[in-house]
Chain A
Amino acid sequence: MDFGRISRRHLLQGGAALTLGAAAGLRPAFAADTTIGFIYVGSRDDYGYNQAHAQGAAALKKLPGLKVIEEEKVPETDAVEKTIESMINLDGATLLFPTSFGYYNPHMIKMANKYPKLRFEHCGGLWSEKDPKNAGSYFGYIDEAQYIAGIVAGYTSKSGKLGFVAAKPIPQVLRNINAFTLGAKLANPKATTQVIFTGDWSMPVKEAEATNSLIDQGVDVLTCHVDGPKTMVENAARRGAFVTGYHVNQSPLAPKAYLTGAEWNWEALYPKFVKMLAAGESIPNFYRGGLKEELVKTSPYGEAVSEQARKHADEIKAKFLGEGYTIFKGPIKDNKGNVVITAGTERGQKDPELEKMDYLVEGVIGATS
């Protein structure tokens, strides 16, 4: 694969003339032969974060007139700038999706400044007014889907003990753990979530050990927030525990143990972006949304999910899709007994306070440090 990149770089000089043309706008903003570039930090079939994006890219491939190019395992270094350059200069990409968190600043920002006529869309970054106008960031409130999964988990668990294999105690992860736990407490007010941090995004042996330790503690429903949930799902299913998935639908890995899961819905979002551009509109630079906006979704229920659980989960889901629903509604205490959201306060999804979350709610067994 590296050979490919070397020759690409050699070709760069040759392609420079072409580039100038493309960048100067000779190519109409969105012609029938638009090329879209996707860049992934890992493998696109990892049953996880990257696969979710690749499914979005696959949805674009089905649309007529679009050419989708992809590159996997691009590190979050200036390597991503080289990939972006070659996608633009050699393949004529006019819309780019560098999908990993660390690509945003400074790499994607730098490229967006260099190619002001092209469009850059980043997953997870926080676009601000200072950033170039042709760059944007989008992200989904996946804690809504985790909340639904929590309800299902709460009903399914016989011991009332749920387990969460997490990578690092950062706000996004804590928010998922908290939403999952609050959902479970709707179903079973006594439910607890035991969390184990493995320390990094991809640590298969640690994830397997964490899964086994949780089950040894009596946990019978597990979920996770790591890059590739495959290890947790397979090992938990082998021990006879139930799981709810994350990132994409992992039910093919454990059809009997899989209850539901919190999934990204990029295959709905990306065609939307392309339609906006084709219609001459601009994509909002800061794009966020949850179940209602079709940025996230839940996996179909597995056979082990009871009628009661389905009914309750569907009810709450309908609220998310309809009039709206607030997960983080006071009073909420953290697991050390401090009130973190006072009674009467509702923290809606767009509340910036939630993006700074540094606590675990009551019912979570674990600590952030």
Chain B
Amino acid sequence: MADGNIGLWTVPLAVLGGAIRVSTPFLFVSLGECITERSGRINLGLEGTLVMGAMSAYGISYLSGSPWLGVLAAGLTGALLGALHAGICSLPRVNDVAVGISLMLFGTGLAFFLGKPLIEPTAARLPAIDFGWWSEVPQVRAALRINVLFLLGVALAPILFWAFKTTRWGLLIRTAGESADAARAMGHSVLMIRLRATMAGGFLAGIGGSFLSLFYPGSWNEGLSSGQGITAVALVIFARWDPMLCLWASLAFGGAAALGPALQSVGVTSGYHLFNAAPYILTLLIMIITCSPKRTLSGAPAELSITR
């Protein structure tokens, strides 16, 4: 670390590093929620799924010694919670928002309860790929130590975009989301489509959780998520239910989260609470700029209970 001083360059570098490090849970949860909401249902329980995913990934990685098994366990836990949400919502006159909120509390509570013995031990972590090998600067190398899950998430966004647009099941999900009657007329079970979409959403959110506990910050504790799941759900609306926009929005949120600490580290110390709030201010601003009293949100699935 002889050549340690890079001065103000820390800030853009930290924002870049933060965009890569912090954005992954946002990315997975928002892509998952994107699938669920496109099918016409909103699952607010993904905060609970994220925390449950983080806990189960950490537990399985600790017990088995294999972090990848942990990731799988997190995904399956998430899918199970998704199935629970979809199952309850398929009953008549059940409100999906209310179920989501209760599942959010259930998921976090259950994770805290089961995760009690996991706070102390250290589990095997996911490996990182060193993309900064070309650089002499240790800061650049650190920022470019990238986890495979991030790359998977980045690849998933265009795949989902393409799938929604051109594949048969993408069309089915959109049909269920735009007009349940049309889907029924085509002879498909709307409930089954939504069940699968919610399970897929839960699976992805669970994997997002495994990133938190197995890579960054990289251990299980109860403050781990601090609301990232619910932020990611909001991010989907912000991204207009478009997987590619979800990707950019997640990166922006990740970078914004790194802004506060990075500015303090170069000596911009006033108003750090304001910089810490940057992601939320950004959300509010974009919401205000793009809202219109004359129409509903463009891109919103017509069957969503919040737009109906």
Contacts and interface: CB of A to CB of B under 8 A. Distances in A.
B265 interface: yes
B225 to A, nearest CB: 9
Contacts of A159: 1, 4
B80 to A, nearest CB: 22
A235 B217 contact: yes
A1 B113 contact: yes
Contacts of B122: 234, 253
B222 A42 contact: yes
Interface in A235-274: 235, 238-240, 253
Best-surrounded residue of B17, B224, B257, B264 (most CB of chain A within 10 A): B264
B219 to A, nearest CB: 6
B264 A215 contact: no
A209 B218 contact: no
A128 B267 CA distance: 40
Given A47-B120, A159-B1, A204 B226 contact: yes
Interface in A190-238: 194-199, 202-210, 212-218, 220, 227-228, 230-231, 234-235, 238
Contacts of A208: 21, 216-218
Contacts of B119: 43, 45-47
A62 interface: no
B261 interface: yes
A365 interface: yes
A158 interface: yes
A304 interface: no
Contact of A206 (B142, B216, B221, B257): B257
User: What interface size band does chain B fall in?
Assistant: 35 or more
Contacts of B235: none
A220 B4 CA distance: 10
Interface in B1-28: 1, 4-6, 10, 13-14, 17-18, 21-22
A203 B6 CA distance: 27
Contacts of A231: 217-219, 221
Interface in A321-369: 365-367, 369
Nearest to B277: A199
Given A202-B226, A209-B260, A213-B261, 19 more contacts: A45-B119, A46-B119, A47-B119, A47-B120, A194-B265, A198-B261, A204-B226, A205-B22, A206-B261, A208-B217, A209-B22, A212-B261, A213-B14, A215-B142, A228-B221, A231-B217, A231-B218, A231-B221, A234-B218
